[in-house]
Amino acid sequence: RTVYVNGDYVPESEARISVFDRGFLFADAIYEVAAVLDGKLVDFPAHLRRLHRSAGELGMRVDISDDALLDIHRTLVERNGIEQGQVYMQLTRGAADRDFAFDTDAMTPGLVLFTLKKELIDTPVARNGLKVVTIEDLRWGRCDIKTTQLLYPSLAKMQAKASGADDAWLVRDGHIMEGTSNNAFIVTSEGAIITRPLSNGILHGITRATLMEYAATTGVRIEERAFTVAEAHQAAEAFVTSASMFVGPVVSIDGINLSDGKPGPVATQLRQHYIAESR
Ligand code: PDD
């Protein structure tokens, strides 16, 4: 694979970053994951907007233009022959002697991009759905910023897998926040979809926003409000959204089957609609 590191396209085995990069030492880094369908980027402008928002919230510099970022994405997709998969982009504050205090202006931001070939349409998740378990949300209070501080969600996912599930839904004050790397939705018996409103407590998912637009245009009722674990257990259906899964049907929560343990009709229809509109 060819990867991009601080201005250069290099084979992955030759890529080098500084051990003093604050992304590595302090998770002082932000990232975006954009899906690639039929060799084309999905929702790319929205990913750029979120990158700028994350950088702004952390006072991180983005020294490169949006056009140049798009060009790097397209070059990697082409060189690595990505028809379906994703592009990962990470921006770090830069490298300096290890110190909790930092001087952003004295550093050169670090920029790394790589691709992943991955089937996104005909997947086991689409066919069989996901089993999730609820786990306490112990992440920091700014989950709206897409930082690389991903240890807790990673451990939560491992805990879910150890219990025989596929992923965790993170819970704060009895309410579902989001999945470890996706936004959470439940569906009522009337076919309305419920998802919690945006706040500092969850990532402002791009797939979430696009999906809600599509739902609105097809007449699906949307309730943007917090929902409890008990409500999730009793939901008719559930699903998650992310750039890597699009819409992933959820078929069980804490061992309780939803929609007979199979992907539900609303989730399935929204998934098909999302994919059709994205290509
Ligand atoms: N994760 N919530 C969290 C905590 C996430 O990490 C993600 C994305 C989402 C969904 O956002 P979007 O629809 O913009 O992908 C929600 C990416 C895919 C990842 O970390 O791989």
**DSSP secondary structure string, 6-30?**
TTEEEEGGG----TTBHHHHH--EE
What pLDDT digit, counting tens, does each position of 72-115 carry? 999 999 999 999 999 999 999 999 999 999 999 999 999 999 99
For residue 92, the model assigns a pLDDT of: 98
Q: Which residue in the list 40, 118, 146, 157 is annotated as catalytic?
A: 146
- 157 catalytic, yes or no? no
For residue 53, the model assigns a pLDDT of: 98
Pick the closest to residue 178 from 161, 166, 195, 160 (CA basis).
195
DSSP state, 188?
A: -
What pLDDT digit, counting tens, does each position of 221-241 carry? 999 999 999 999 999 999 999
User: Are 95 and 107 in contact, with CB atoms under 8 Å apart?
Assistant: yes
**Ligand 1 within 6 A of CB of 139:** no
3-state secondary structure of 203: coil
Domain boundary among 89, 117, 145: 117
> Distance between CA atoms of 22 and 101, rounded to whole angstroms?
11
Domain boundary among 61, 94, 117: 117
ipTM of the predicted assembly exceeds 0.85: yes
Share of the chain above pLDDT 70, in %: 100
Instruction: Give yes or no: residues 86 and 183 share one domain.
Output: no
How many structural domains is the chain composed of? 2
What pLDDT digit, counting tens, does each position of 2-30 carry? 999 999 999 999 999 999 999 999 999 99
What pLDDT digit, counting tens, does each position of 199-213 carry? 999 999 999 999 999
Q: Name all contacts of 24-28 with Cβ < 8 Å and 24+ positions apart.
A: 24/92, 25/98, 26/100, 27/147, 27/148, 27/149, 27/150, 28/58, 28/60, 28/92, 28/93, 28/102
Span 129-146, mean pLDDT? Answer: 98
Give residue 185's domain range. Answer: 124-278
